């Protein structure tokens, strides 16, 4: 796959709007839509995402009239269009003509038509039709002056990210041939002498359907890689058509935050603009902490370039077991959090709340009560407020901390059933490490294990199960040049074919970390051991390791209970001008906070004393101005110390030495750009 030059989005201010489904309404509703959109400050809408059957009711017979008409109305109203290629879901006539296009699950059952995304990503028929539809859309609307962005498909992999059908199996074999060349290569890679799995013909290889016992881990890992690539090919196929016909219009596909099934580094590399759909659960009081890490990934995927929050909810969703609404003010702070994290847009699913279908109970900008609905009042106020924030458009987030996000390690450490413990979960581990940095007051960018690390003082590696020498070399050189690397448990265990590194973990990271892992030591459920760090005991649920530190490595924390009592748990080794830490245990928040506090001090970075997850602050900067966002994600008011003399973009006021942030309160403080971004703290 090639990385293409990034085409800019032709919007001068923050985008505001949402998914728009005019084909679910009679045309007499459209004028009211437009009037209320203008009133709310909407300047961008996404359509027609799921409308293929309405655009091509019969094979080759198109009905463009309704789309022509609504696009004209939007254009005349000054509302720009994120134009979908309408390929998110196939029409029934296509599936009934080609039933082999329906996806199959791991048990061998076909999934039926009646929801959405009922396609096998590898199906040649589907691909051919996707290319045909994309071409038709591009030829018809590529010159439309309102179209500023191509919205390809929708949330790849949301419902169908893996398919185990015979067509997928054939595609999987081709993918494996490309990767391993010949059958010997494959047999060697998959370690087939274990449990008698030697293949003597390519045709004998299947997708890893349900088998009598645990599957071959490398086969499972390759299937994860293949499945991500299969959807990436589909994406690339549309991109190629669009670049041929509309070379100046940027392309995107909307991501689903930190989504396990697709390697978003690969997807972002081929598109122009990263866009994300974010649905933090209002029932979870720290959902915003998870969102912060997701946004740290979104801005990192294209090297810090602003991204777009393309979907979010004005209030409740309709796909959770219980869909708790957002309290008054909560949608605003959620939206401004995304802006704080580098989004140049606040967009929603969807503009007008549906009257029927699967999503009629999903909140929208315009609720069932129309302009009298609370969500409309609140989104309209937000639309106005975003206009006051137009200066932040195009600015970039400043973060000193990188956190390694590596899909191979995520898949490898979770796809197999035969692991030391199923309780070590890549995502939990990454989220826990990020949460500790959030509590200490630092935003975190995602980064690849090979860097680039130039922007960072600290690189966190919560888990790197699959590690190679290039990654080890990049991390080592970062440390030697003065960086701080912190590596988490079960790292450096295997190579890319899941073979254990010679001498065991941490494999290629052994010299950098100055430790050797003798044995992984997971705990059974309900057993929580203790680890001491800086004289305090911390809970160590789920996982420990028997490690030996080599002579130059300091032992900074020890196991304090159980079979590992007295053995090293947390180590630090000086490396050039920097250092490399190893945290062999899974720790509670307090334990991670204590370790990271020391790491930050070593790196010369500030840290908060008072740990309140509700308080978040981070800075977007232009060449001459720092815009520091202060967000209260909770219901209790907070008092924070701020730089005096800052201009609050929202109120227009000039700050004194402190600022009161009410329930779900937000301030955006402009100050001249400084070497280090302002670091705001809570007044206690
Ligand atoms: C996803 C989809 C949308 C809609 C929303 C509802 O983000 O992309 O079409 O279904 O979920 O939350």
Pocket-testing residue among 50, 259, 311, ligand 1, by greatest number of atoms within 8 A of Cβ: 311
| Residue 609 Cα to ligand 1 middle (Å) | 39
Identified catalytic residue from 56, 155, 359, 529: 155
> Ligand 1, atom 4: nearest CA belongs to which residue?
349
589 and 628 share one domain: no
Pocket-testing residue among 277, 353, 362, ligand 1, by greatest number of atoms within 8 A of Cβ: 277
Region 67-84 average pLDDT: 98
pLDDT band at 2, cuts 50/70/90? very low
Q: Is residue 190 part of a domain?
A: no
- Tell whether the torsion through CA atoms of 332, 334, 335 and 337 is positive or negative: positive
Q: CATH number for the domain including 553?
A: 3.40.50.880
488 and 589 share one domain: yes
| Residue 435 Cα to ligand 1 middle (Å) | 26
426 and 494 share one domain: yes
452 and 522 share one domain: yes
By the 8 A CB rule, do 616 and 339 touch? no
- Tell me whether the omega of the peptide bond preceding residue 350 falls within 30 degrees of 0, making it cis: yes
| Residue 463 Cα to ligand 1 middle (Å) | 30
Q: Is the pLDDT of residue 198 over 80?
A: yes
Ligand 1 contact via 276 beta carbon (within 6 Å): no
| Residue 158 Cα to ligand 1 middle (Å) | 9
635 and 527 share one domain: no
Pocket-testing residue among 21, 155, 161, 325, ligand 1, by greatest number of atoms within 8 A of Cβ: 155
Active site residue 12: no
Q: What's the helix, strand, coil split of the chain in %, to 5? A: 30, 20, 45
Burial grade of 210 (CB within 10 A; 0-12, 13-18, 19 or more):
exposed
Number of domains in the chain: 3
pLDDT band at 551, cuts 50/70/90? confident
Region 435-451 average pLDDT: 98
Ligand 1 contact via 154 beta carbon (within 6 Å): yes
Q: Is residue 434 part of a domain?
A: yes
Ligand 1 contact via 362 beta carbon (within 6 Å): yes
Is 409 in a helix, a strand, or coil? helix
Q: What is the DSSP string of 21-56?
A: -GGGS-GGGHHHHHHHHHHHT--EEEE-TT-HHHH-
Token output for 15:
């985008």
> Ligand 1, atom 5: nearest CA belongs to which residue?
349
Q: Is residue 464 part of a domain?
A: yes
pLDDT band at 5, cuts 50/70/90? low
Q: CATH number for the domain including 629?
A: 2.60.40.1180
Is 551 in a helix, a strand, or coil? coil
Q: Is residue 47 part of a domain?
A: yes
Ligand 1 contact via 317 beta carbon (within 6 Å): yes
| Residue 346 Cα to ligand 1 middle (Å) | 15
Q: Is the pLDDT of residue 594 over 80?
A: yes
Q: In degrees rounded to 5, what are phi and psi of residue 608?
A: -75, 145
Q: What is the pLDDT of residue 6?
A: 77
Q: What is the pLDDT of residue 170?
A: 98
pLDDT band at 463, cuts 50/70/90? very high
Pocket-testing residue among 151, 349, 351, ligand 1, by greatest number of atoms within 8 A of Cβ: 349
Region 48-57 average pLDDT: 98
Burial grade of 541 (CB within 10 A; 0-12, 13-18, 19 or more):
middle
Ligand 1 contact via 307 beta carbon (within 6 Å): no
Q: Is residue 485 part of a domain?
A: yes
The domain boundary residue, chosen from 548, 579, 602:
602
| Residue 349 Cα to ligand 1 middle (Å) | 6
| Residue 84 Cα to ligand 1 middle (Å) | 14
Q: Is residue 210 part of a domain?
A: no
352 and 481 share one domain: no
> With pLDDT > 90 as the criterion, what percentage of the chain qualifies?
98
Q: Is residue 263 part of a domain?
A: yes
456 and 573 share one domain: yes
> Ligand 1, atom 3: nearest CA belongs to which residue?
349
10 vs 472, which has greater pLDDT?
A: 472
Identified catalytic residue from 56, 271, 311, 330: 311
The sheet with strand 638-641 has its strands ordered as 658-661, 638-641, 681-682
The domain boundary residue, chosen from 602, 624, 659:
602
Q: CATH number for the domain including 53?
A: 3.20.20.80
Q: What is the pLDDT of residue 437?
A: 98
Region 143-170 average pLDDT: 98
Report the C-alpha gap between 132 and 134 in whole angstroms. Answer: 6
What would the pLDDT profile of 343-370 be if each residue is shown by its tens digit?
999 999 999 999 999 999 999 999 999 9
Report the C-alpha gap between 472 and 513 in whole angstroms. Answer: 10
For residue 319, give the ligand 1 atom closest to its CA.
12
Mean pLDDT of the chain: 97
Q: Is the pLDDT of residue 317 over 70?
A: yes
- Tell whether the torsion through CA atoms of 593, 594, 597 and 599 is positive or negative: negative
Range of the domain at 491: 401-602
What does DSSP say about strands 543-549 and 515-522: parallel, antiparallel, or unpaired? antiparallel
pLDDT band at 684, cuts 50/70/90? confident
Residue appearing with tokens 């994860």 = 224
144 and 24 share one domain: yes
Report the C-alpha gap between 612 and 314 in whole angstroms. Answer: 25
> Ligand 1, atom 11: nearest CA belongs to which residue?
349
Cα–Cα nearest to 490, from 471, 513, 462: 462
132 and 57 share one domain: yes
For residue 256, give the ligand 1 atom closest to its CA.
7
Ligand 1 contact via 155 beta carbon (within 6 Å): yes
Identify the H or E element spanning 621.
strand 615-621
534 and 624 share one domain: no
End-to-end CA distance of the chain: 52
Q: What is the pLDDT of residue 247?
A: 97
549 and 662 share one domain: no
What would the pLDDT profile of 573-583 be if each residue is shown by its tens digit?
999 999 999 99
Cα–Cα nearest to 613, from 400, 306, 337: 337
What would the pLDDT profile of 597-619 be if each residue is shown by its tens digit?
999 999 999 999 989 999 999 99
Active site residue 311: yes
| Residue 348 Cα to ligand 1 middle (Å) | 9
Q: Is residue 177 part of a domain?
A: no
What would the pLDDT profile of 640-677 be if each residue is shown by its tens digit?
999 999 999 999 999 999 999 999 999 999 999 999 99
Ligand 1 contact via 279 beta carbon (within 6 Å): yes
What would the pLDDT profile of 388-407 be if each residue is shown by its tens digit?
999 999 999 999 999 999 99
513 and 641 share one domain: no
| Residue 133 Cα to ligand 1 middle (Å) | 22
Ligand 1 contact via 349 beta carbon (within 6 Å): yes
| Residue 317 Cα to ligand 1 middle (Å) | 9
Ligand 1 contact via 408 beta carbon (within 6 Å): no
User: H-type helices in 56-182, by residue range?
Assistant: 65-76, 92-97, 124-141, 166-180
The domain boundary residue, chosen from 394, 428, 455:
394
Ligand 1 contact via 277 beta carbon (within 6 Å): yes
Per the DSSP assignment, residues forming a β-bridge with 366 are 352
For residue 313, give the ligand 1 atom closest to its CA.
12
For residue 155, give the ligand 1 atom closest to its CA.
8
> Ligand 1, atom 7: nearest CA belongs to which residue?
277
């Amino acid at each position: 796959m090639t990385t293409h030059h990034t085409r800019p989005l032709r919007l001068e201010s923050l985008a505001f709007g949402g998914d728009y489904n005019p084909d679910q309404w009679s045309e007499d509703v459209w004028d009211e839509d437009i009037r209320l959109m203008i009133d709310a400050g909407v300047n961008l809408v996404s359509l027609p995402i799921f409308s293929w059957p309405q655009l091509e009711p019969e094979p080759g017979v198109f009905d463009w009239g309704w789309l022509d008409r609504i696009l004209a109305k939007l254009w005349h109203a000054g509302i720009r269009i994120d134009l979908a290629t309408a390929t998110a879901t196939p029409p029934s006539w296509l599936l009934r003509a080609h039933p082999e296009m329906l996806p199959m699950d791991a048990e061998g059952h076909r999934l039926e038509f009646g929801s959405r995304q009922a396609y096998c990503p590898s199906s040649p028929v589907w691909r051919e039709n996707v290319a045909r539809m994309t071409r038709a859309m591009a030829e018809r609307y590529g010159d439309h002056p309102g179209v500023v962005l191509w919205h390809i498909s929708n949330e790849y992999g949301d419902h169908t990210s893996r398919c185990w059908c015979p067509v997928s199996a054939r595609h999987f074999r081709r993918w494996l041939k490309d990767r391993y060349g010949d059958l010997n290569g494959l047999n060697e890679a998959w370690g087939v002498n274990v449990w008698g799995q030697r293949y003597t013909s390519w045709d004998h290889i299947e997708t890893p359907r349900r088998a009598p016992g645990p599957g071959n881990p490398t086969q499972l890992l390759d299937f994860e890689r293949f499945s991500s690539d299969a959807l990436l090919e589909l994406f690339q196929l549309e991109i190629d058509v669009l670049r041929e016909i509309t070379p100046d219009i940027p392309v995107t596909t909307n991501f689903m935050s930190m989504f396990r099934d697709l390697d978003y580094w690969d997807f972002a590399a081929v598109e122009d603009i990263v866009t994300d759909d974010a649905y933090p659960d209002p029932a979870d009081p720290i959902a915003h902490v998870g969102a912060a890490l997701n946004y740290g990934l979104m801005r990192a995927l294209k090297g810090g370039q602003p991204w777009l929050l393309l979907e979010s909810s004005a209030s409740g969703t309709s796909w959770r077991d219980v869909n708790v609404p957002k309290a008054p003010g909560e949608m605003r702070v959620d939206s401004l959090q995304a802006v704080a994290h580098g989004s140049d847009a606040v967009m929603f699913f969807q503009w007008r709340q549906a009257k029927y279908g699967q999503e009629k109970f999903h909140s929208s900008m315009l609720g069932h009560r129309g302009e009298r609905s609370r969500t409309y009042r609140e989104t309209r106020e937000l639309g106005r407020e975003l206009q006051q924030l137009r200066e932040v458009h195009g600015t970039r987030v400043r973060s000193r901390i990188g956190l390694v996000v590596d899909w191979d390690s995520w898949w490898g450490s979770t796809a197999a059933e035969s692991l030391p413990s199923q309780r070590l979960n890549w995502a939990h581990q990454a989220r826990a490490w990020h949460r500790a940095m959030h509590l200490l007051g630092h935003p975190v960018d995602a980064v690849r294990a090979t860097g680039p690390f130039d922007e960072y003082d600290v690189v966190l590696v919560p888990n790197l199960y699959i590690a190679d020498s290039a990654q080890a070399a990049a991390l080592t050189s970062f440390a030697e040049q003065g960086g701080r690397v912190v590596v988490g448990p079960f790292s450096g265990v295997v190579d890319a074919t899941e073979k254990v590194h010679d001498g065991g973990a941490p494999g290629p990271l052994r010299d950098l970390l100055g430790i050797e892992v003798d044995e992984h030591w997971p705990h059974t459920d309900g057993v929580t051991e203790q680890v001491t760090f800086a004289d305090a005991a911390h809970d160590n649920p789920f996982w420990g390791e028997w490690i030996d530190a080599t002579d130059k490595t300091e032992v900074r924390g020890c196991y304090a209970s159980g079979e590992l009592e007295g053995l090293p748990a947390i180590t630090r080794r000086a490396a050039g001008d920097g250092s490399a830490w190893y945290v062999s245990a899974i720790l509670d928040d307090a334990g991670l906070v204590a370790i990271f506090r020391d790491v930050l001090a070593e790196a010369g970075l500030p840290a908060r004393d008072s740990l309140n997850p509700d308080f978040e602050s981070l800075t977007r900067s232009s060449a001459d101005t720092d815009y520091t966002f202060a967000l209260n994600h909770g219901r209790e008011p907070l008092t924070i110390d701020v730089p005096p003399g800052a201009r609050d973009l929202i109120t227009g006021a000039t700050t004194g030495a402190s600022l009161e942030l009410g329930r779900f309160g937000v301030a955006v403080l402009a100050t001249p750009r400084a070497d280090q971004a302002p670091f705001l703290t809570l007044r206690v």
